[in-house]
Amino acid sequence: MLTILSDITGIGAEKRTPYDPVKELPPGSLEGKVYLVTGGHGGIGLETTRFLVLAGARILIGSRSSNKVHTAIDSLASSHGEFIRQKLEYVELDLASLANVKRCAEGVLEREERLDGVVCNAGIMALPYKLTDDGVEQQFQVNVLGHWLLVNKLLPLLEKTHELTGEISRVVVLSSFAHNFISFSPLSSPSLGSVSDLNKSHHSPWLRYSVSKLAGIWFARELDRRGKGRGVRSLSVHPGFVSSNLYDTHALARPLLRFFIPPSRGSYTTLIALTSPLIAQRDWWGEYLVPFGKRKEPRGGKDARREGECWKDPSSVHSSWAAYFQGLKNGLPSQQAYQSPPGLVPSLGDSLEGPAPVSFAVDGGEIEDHMKVQLLVRAFQVRGHHIAALDPLGMQQADLDASTPSELTIEHYGWTEKDLDKEIELGAGILPRFKSAGTDKMTLRQIIDTCKKTYCGSIGIQYIHIPNRDQCDWIRERIEIPQPWKYSPDEKRAILDRLTWSDSFERFIASKYPNEKRFGLEGAESLIPGMKALIDRSVDHGTKSVVMGMPHRGRLNVLANVVRKPIEAILSEFAPSQDPNEEAAADVKYHLGANYVRPTPNGKRVSLSLVANPSHLEAEDGVVLGKTKALQHFEGEGDSASAMGLLLHGDAAFAGQGVVYETMGMSDLPNYGTGGTVHIIVNNQIGFTTNPSQGRSTPYPSDIAKAIDAPIFHVNGDDAEAVTFVCQLAADWRAKFKKDVVIDLICYRRHGHNEGDQPMFTQPKMYEIIKNKPTTLQMYTEQLVKEKTFSDEETEKHKAWVWGLMEESYEKSKEYKPTSKEWLSSSWDGFPSPRELKENVLEARATGVDFDTLKKVGKAISSTPEGFDVHRNLQRILKTRGQSVEEGKNIDYATAEALAFGTLALEKVHVRVSGQDVERGTFSQRHAVIHDQKTDETFTPLRHLSDSQAPVTICNSSLSEFGVLGFELGYSLVDPALLVIWEAQFGDFANGAQIMIDQFIAAGERKWLQRSGLVMSLPHGYDGQGPEHSSGRIERFLQLCDDHPFIYPSAEKQARQIQDCNMQIIYPTVPSNIFHALRRQIHRDYRKPLIVFFSKNLLRHPQARSSLDEFGPETLFQRYIAEPEPEGFAKPEEVVRHILCAGQVYYTLLAEREKRGLKNVAISRIEQLSPLPYDLITPHLDRYPNATTYWVQEEPINNGAWTYVQPRIETAMRETENHKTRRCYFAGRGPTSSVATGSKKQHALEIQQFLDAAFDLDAHRVEFSQQSAHKKGDF
């Protein structure tokens, strides 16, 4: 039995204290600490590194060989897990070169914020006589002088760490028993008269080695004397006779190695000196310790005079060292006595500070076995999942590797079968929770069996990569116990019932609709009891809403058995009875969403929302997170417990789709984190026809989750109780730590990709096994019958009852009439339904605001708190912003936008603006979040309008388009009293989110009746910045608009243009229009996505300004701004050309018209490109009866709005009196594949070319063919 003493034995004590680094330095005990270990890649240094890093410290390994260090890192990672790589860093250190030592120290000082200790471990022994390039005997320089320089250079950082943490920083110098062989008496042998003798080649290598080790003791003593009072203390240690690589070159020593202790135990004394709190308690600073933690007076010890005498010959070492000892002799303080070699050694500064946790010491085979068992248990914690019984098919390991890690075998630790019956005391590091349950000891065999049951059964767990010790301990407390789960008969009945519904649902639909695609859940039926258990447990933790996202596989089953959508409603979609003109979603049944409230077994109620999804796998991930975040805002006042995101993934998609990482990367970001998302990977071990080994480069599909420190619970889908347990565990984890968690549900797919697919073509072996495999329901039923929980008769009766209920639903489905609410993933109470929106015309409302409110907001957005240090340039901007509102003129775009945000917030509308750099604005235009120039505190003026205002959130996002746009779309779905804006850094980058645009924004309402007022804000404009910073791709958005180009809308249709369209697209040229456009999103009884293209150039253009009157009462968005016809303008009938345009090109055209002195060319702006304002454009075209109509754009002909507006303008022209048979002509850039030129010269040339085409009035008279116009170079 181990006897753990509470003290380190003092001088003369005979017994040695057992020391166990695994016990004394448990995982996390050194978290946050940083140590430098010289020679930390081998021998004692490697073992010191191992124990420190396993305790959570970060280690800088100083060595001149990067290969050896990286080999050591690979070995440690292989033994203990990949997480270790993050804790280890190579620093180049050649102790034989003082110049290199200096560079090493300077690099550490530059990179590191703290350094808790230095272990002077590296050394050489008994090598032939040789001088270094610095003129010093090599052993003395490597073992002593190099370390002396290194530590002195690092003293400022050691002292800083002490000031930061309040703990002592420690320096440990490895000495040797060999120092005892040195005598300074000429009558003794061996003897050394002075250190100058070291430079004489006749001295033996062993003598020179011994001298260096004695000097190391002096080094530690002197350093401690100087560091005392500054938080830096040092000790020297003799590690014992260790079988290290120092002896590799000495043939005489090799036969003795079997009597030496291993390097692992050789590190114990170092660890005691570096970390034990008892060193400080005993005030053993500066002392010399021998194994294991015993204090001893070294021979040749505390005599500074004798130390100085060793350097009495100035020729022995560099003159600075001789000067140092001469200075001591003359009574100078050590800092003044020492003078560094030029450019190498620093003047001796003072500073130090450091570590904590350890004590005690070790000996004996029993202790060695104890340590090995700790390592074995740790190996199961780290790598047990690799051999867990996770694959229900039994044909391959879930990690794609059939080998067993050597660390999980007894041979790895030198044991044989006869060792398996050794008794081991349980405790820290060895199943401690079994001990607390009453088991003090186990045999090695029992410990291995327990570890296999815990970590290698139906559940495999990855959690050691998590750096937080409390979180790891929490998991161990839940699983390293005698019985992690024990379900009562009633609980097993619930699992069986849920599994029965899951299984029966698939079989029932297959029997009724054998030829229909349904992407069934067969092979993964245990998902349903798992999900329901997870939701029930989460509700017990306070969750009121669960937002779910999932792919098509199993979706119908989840809708029926988790969301509880009526089964007759689902069955009606297989044989639809409704008229095609009735309200209904326009997508396949396994893409549709739903929103229901259902009770839980504990009498509570929970809202379950399953968002609609396209076949673009994982596209809904961000939508789920955004919707969850919004629910937390509206229903839980920001409390993450109130709403939870639950994402289901396929194994191939989770590993392959980049949006998975984009959304997981938001998990801990301000304004995006939701308090943890639960991820369930339905891992059927195949992606359509692709095997896992072809679909991912990682062992598991879940490995990406390690990036956010999420625990990963792998579970065999055939073990229904294990699935239920890990789902409950995941719910508990989220509730406790508010972090993501991943369940890897390893299952199979009983059929092909769909029910009509033939999987034997590509996976014959897998499907041969599946063909003969019993279902999960059959296996669980047999288990319950075998353990006598239920009888065969009871289980069969229950199956028949479930089937009978489904038959009833089938009959109901024949007459079932669906309503739109069935597909709405958000229910907006009090808001018009899709049917009402279709039947009624909703009038447009004025969006102007009274002047007092506008000025109130204007004052607020230009003010900062007293004493807030605003950048001087920003002070000017804010002052100008406030003056423009107060004076009622020259209001720019950013101010107009802020006025919209502020006035809506005062109307209790929550405003959220998100995207890359939106707080300041890409073009330094917004400045919504202001930074104090001294403290870096932030202030958001829009949050300080009124005590009763709605929240305004303006937040920078991660550098993601797809994931973040999805998040904001999801946020917008929750409540109509919400303005959500996503802004691209440049409009060009929006195509990184093209799937969201195509599938959700443009088509979401038509496919899924999904209502959203999301605003996309896209910088756009050809300013000579090249093909990546010019175009938001107006043409692509317009192509997605669903209005008919060739049918002129009736008066009724024109009145309801926007409420019928799929989205709106605007390109405003006046600031007041962005104000009204944003307010218009809220002030109507329906919601439509809005795409805003805004000009970078017009943000500061002197003509792009608005007066306050344009924001006042009864004003609204100007869809079309007709030619203003200034004084001196031609009469309407004299106008020969009418130019229509959109965006910043208007001001270019205006300047060119003025430059040419033309009075007979009208220029009108279409501010709302879609839906096209026919009611305004058509009559205005007739105002100029003799004019040729032109569309002018700065974009190329195959880009921009031309292909959209040309047929629609001509449709409008056919409804006029004067232009019925005329055409609309084009002036702009020629076709190109790369959007825009990067050449300033070419850019200017292209502008002049299309301006010439626009204003060449001789090119056309009344009517020209499009072909002839093109011949004349109009583009």
Q: What is the pLDDT of residues 691-715, one digit of tens each?
A: 888 889 999 999 999 999 999 999 9
The per-residue pLDDT for 755 is 77
Q: What is the number of alpha carbons within 13 Å of residue 375 lying toward its C-beta?
A: 22
**How much helix, strand and coil, in percent to the nearest 5, is found in the chain?**
45, 15, 45
Strands in 360-499 per DSSP E: 423-425, 441-443, 459-462
> Letter for the amino acid at 527?
L
Range of lowest pLDDT (669-678, 904-913, 918-927, 1250-1259): 1250-1259
| Structure confidence at residue 18 as a pLDDT band (50, 70, 90) | low
Residues 6+ apart with CB under 8 A from 234: 170, 171, 172, 173, 220, 221, 223, 224, 227, 285, 286
Beta bridge partners of 939: 930
How do residues 774-830 score in pLDDT, each as one tens digit?
999 999 999 999 999 999 999 999 999 999 999 999 999 988 888 777 767 677 877
Query: 1002 with 1062: CB under 8 angstroms?
Result: yes
Helix H or strand E encompassing 1196: strand 1188-1196
Burial class, 283, CB count within 10 angstroms (exposed 0-12 / middle 13-18 / buried 19+): exposed
Residue 270: C-alpha distances to residues 36, 172, 276, 360 (Å): 13, 7, 10, 12
How do residues 1040-1087 score in pLDDT, each as one tens digit?
999 999 999 999 999 999 999 999 999 999 999 999 999 999 999 999
CATH 3.40.50.12470 holds for 851-1111: yes
Mean pLDDT of 1024-1043: 94
Query: 142 with 123: CB under 8 angstroms?
Result: yes
| Structure confidence at residue 893 as a pLDDT band (50, 70, 90) | very high
| Structure confidence at residue 16 as a pLDDT band (50, 70, 90) | very low
Q: Is the pLDDT of residue 493 over 90?
A: yes
Class of domain 365-479: mainly alpha
Q: How many helices and strands in the chain, by DSSP H and E?
A: 45, 32
Query: 980 with 1015: CB under 8 angstroms?
Result: yes
Average per-residue pLDDT in the chain? 86
Q: Tokens standing for 823?
A: 């597909």
| Structure confidence at residue 258 as a pLDDT band (50, 70, 90) | very low
Beta bridge partners of 1095: 1020
- Distance, in Å, from the CA atom of 410 to the CA atom of 379, rounded to the nearest integer, reads 11
Query: 904 with 942: CB under 8 angstroms?
Result: no
- Distance, in Å, from the CA atom of 707 to the CA atom of 710, rounded to the nearest integer, reads 8
Would the pTM of this model clear 0.85, i.e. be above it? no
**Segment of 336-340, 361-365, 882-886 carrying the highest mean pLDDT:** 882-886
How do residues 466-483 score in pLDDT, each as one tens digit?
989 899 999 999 999 999
> Letter for the amino acid at 55?
A
Query: 738 with 675: CB under 8 angstroms?
Result: yes
More confident of the two residues 5 and 380: 380
Q: What residue spans define the domains of the chain?
A: 31-181+198-299, 365-479, 489-812, 851-1111, 1132-1271
Query: 1057 with 1170: CB under 8 angstroms?
Result: no
For β-strands 594-599 and 605-610, DSSP reports them as antiparallel
Mean pLDDT of 1234-1247: 93
Instruction: Work out the percent of the chain whose per-residue pLDDT is above 90.
Output: 65
| Structure confidence at residue 588 as a pLDDT band (50, 70, 90) | confident
**Listed residue (81, 78, 32) closest to 58, CA to CA:** 32
- Distance, in Å, from the CA atom of 243 to the CA atom of 255, rounded to the nearest integer, reads 11
**Segment of 77-91, 273-287, 659-673 carrying the highest mean pLDDT:** 659-673
In whole angstroms, what separates CA 155 from the centre of its chain? 37
Query: 287 with 235: CB under 8 angstroms?
Result: yes
Beta bridge partners of 1226: 1191
Domain 489-812: give its CATH code: 3.40.50.970
Mean pLDDT of 679-683: 96
Q: Tokens standing for 135?
A: 């003129």
| Structure confidence at residue 342 as a pLDDT band (50, 70, 90) | very low
The per-residue pLDDT for 175 is 85
| Structure confidence at residue 518 as a pLDDT band (50, 70, 90) | confident
Query: 695 with 447: CB under 8 angstroms?
Result: no
Instruction: Work out the percent of the chain whose per-residue pLDDT is above 70.
Output: 87
Residues 6+ apart with CB under 8 A from 489: 789, 790
Query: 739 with 676: CB under 8 angstroms?
Result: yes
| Structure confidence at residue 244 as a pLDDT band (50, 70, 90) | low
Q: Is the pLDDT of residue 343 over 50?
A: no
Mean pLDDT of 822-843: 78
List b or e across 1066-1080, with b for residues whose CB sees 16 or more CB atoms inside 10 angstroms: bbbbbbbbbbbbbbb
| Structure confidence at residue 763 as a pLDDT band (50, 70, 90) | confident
Strands in 508-632 per DSSP E: 545-549, 594-599, 605-610
More confident of the two residues 1238 and 199: 1238
Range of lowest pLDDT (224-238, 988-1002, 1224-1238): 224-238
Cis peptide before 489 (omega within 30 of 0): no
Long-range contacts of 861-864 (CB under 8 A, 24+ apart): 861/895, 861/898, 861/899, 861/902, 861/941, 861/942, 862/941, 863/941, 864/930, 864/939, 864/941
Main-chain dihedrals φ then ψ at residue 1196, nearest 5 degrees? -65, 165
Mean pLDDT of 731-736: 98
**Listed residue (1174, 1165, 1000) closest to 1098, CA to CA:** 1165
Say which CATH architecture domain 1132-1271 belongs to: 3-Layer(aba) Sandwich (3.40)
Mean pLDDT of 383-405: 91
**Listed residue (614, 560, 607) closest to 591, CA to CA:** 614
| Domain range 31-181+198-299, its CATH number among 1.20.140.10, 3.30.930.10, 3.40.50.720, 3.40.80.10 | 3.40.50.720
Residues 6+ apart with CB under 8 A from 1170: 1038, 1041, 1043, 1061, 1063, 1064, 1065, 1204
**Listed residue (1225, 1227, 1246) closest to 1235, CA to CA:** 1246
Main-chain dihedrals φ then ψ at residue 1208, nearest 5 degrees? -75, -40
Q: Tokens standing for 241?
A: 């006779």
Q: Is the pLDDT of residue 312 over 50?
A: no
CB count, 10 Å around CB of 953?
18
Main-chain dihedrals φ then ψ at residue 1212, nearest 5 degrees? -65, -40
Domains 365-479 and 851-1111 share a fold: no
How do residues 956-996 score in pLDDT, each as one tens digit?
999 999 999 999 999 999 999 999 999 999 888 899 999 99
- Helix (H, G, I), strand (E, B), or coil: what is residue 1223? coil
Q: Is the pLDDT of residue 378 over 80?
A: yes
The per-residue pLDDT for 284 is 87
